[in-house]
Amino acid sequence: MDLTLALVIGVVVVALVFDYTNGFHDAANAIATSVSTRALTPRAALFMAAAMNFLGAHLGTQVAATVGKGIIDAPQGTHGLVIVGAGLIGAITWNMVTWYFGLPSSSSHALIGGLIGSALASASNVHWDGVVDKVVIPMILSPVIGFTLAGLIMIAILWAFRRSQPGKTNRGFRHAQTVSAAAMALGHGLQDAQKTMGVIFLALVVGGYQHDGDPIPQWVILAAATAISLGTYAGGWRIMRTLGRRIIALDPPQGFAAESAAAAVLYTAAIGFGAPISTTHTITSAIMGVGATKRLSAVRWGVAGNIVTAWILTIPAAAIVAALSYFLLHWMVE
């Protein structure tokens, strides 16, 4: 087996490991609110989220194209594969650090930060216009839109059910949350599985096994969908506690409003703009928006501040780890 083929296989395996960590790191995004309101049991919620992630991964490739072609230019051959591999190592490392501390940071931005860090370390080209248009602007807008939309949906629910009996309303929204959680999980698969597809496609192009204009192979889509689904089913209990309880104690109508708003933002970004936005940022800000309609003090802003700090650190931290990984792999392989 020649070195290039060995590196392509290695990068594909590492990409699927990242996809798996993305699944268990972000499992909380889709189901934390449903579990915290007791709309679903944890195991049933995880099974549903895994299935919907798998389906969502098959709904499009616009985000994959952005990640695979619109962030960096990696050179052909072993050097390019080392760059892609180092970027994945940076992303996985940051995922594991934030999972350990129970912080819902963005796997998407960890991946993008990793690719940027390894590209800069190798003096490769970074598409800064693509980073700004497809990453930075959506990174700023998606939490703002998620916060605002969730707040508006919650206000509409409060007005529509203002004369309803609370117990009966809560029971109804527990059933509705099954649908909104499924929509959220479908959006997560649509967004996050595609990011791994994009990296695997980039590795295949760099290794000479695909061309830029080729469609993403079916086996890549299936492998990415399977990996993220298995990771989701493995669960991410630490982060689930943070999202489900520590920001605000949610009731079923609030959970439904947050999930519906977040899912709408995910679909619009993926299908409308091919933008790889963070499901973590979107659902977390939606939960804050729902809480703020009750009263500002209902949101535990100290916990929210810690989460936002992790958001800010994600891209540079993953980039630094990826750069160091690049220098080590470059020394070992080349």
Please write the tens of the pLDDT for every residue from 37-48. 777 777 788 888
CA–CA separation, 6 and 66 (whole Å): 26
pLDDT tens readout for residues 127-177: 999 889 888 898 888 889 999 999 999 999 999 998 888 888 988 998 898
CA–CA separation, 298 and 97 (whole Å): 28
Asked whether the predicted pLDDT for residue 87 surpasses 90, the reply is: yes
Write out the H or E segment, with its range, that includes residue 48.
helix 42-56
Query: Do 234 and 122 touch, CB atoms closer than 8 A?
Result: no
Structure-derived torsion over alpha carbons of residues 290, 293, 296, 301, reported in degrees to the nearest 10 = 10
Structure-derived torsion over alpha carbons of residues 43, 44, 48, 53, reported in degrees to the nearest 10 = -10
pLDDT tens readout for residues 208-247: 999 888 889 999 999 999 999 998 887 665 555 555 455 5
Q: Which of 59-63, 80-84, 87-91 has the lowest mean pLDDT?
A: 59-63
pLDDT at residue 239 in the model? 57
Residue 73, helix vs strand vs coil: strand
> What is the residue extent of each domain of the chain?
3-333
Q: Give the angle 283-285-289 at the CA atoms, nearest 5°.
A: 110
Residue 72, helix vs strand vs coil: strand
CA–CA separation, 195 and 200 (whole Å): 9
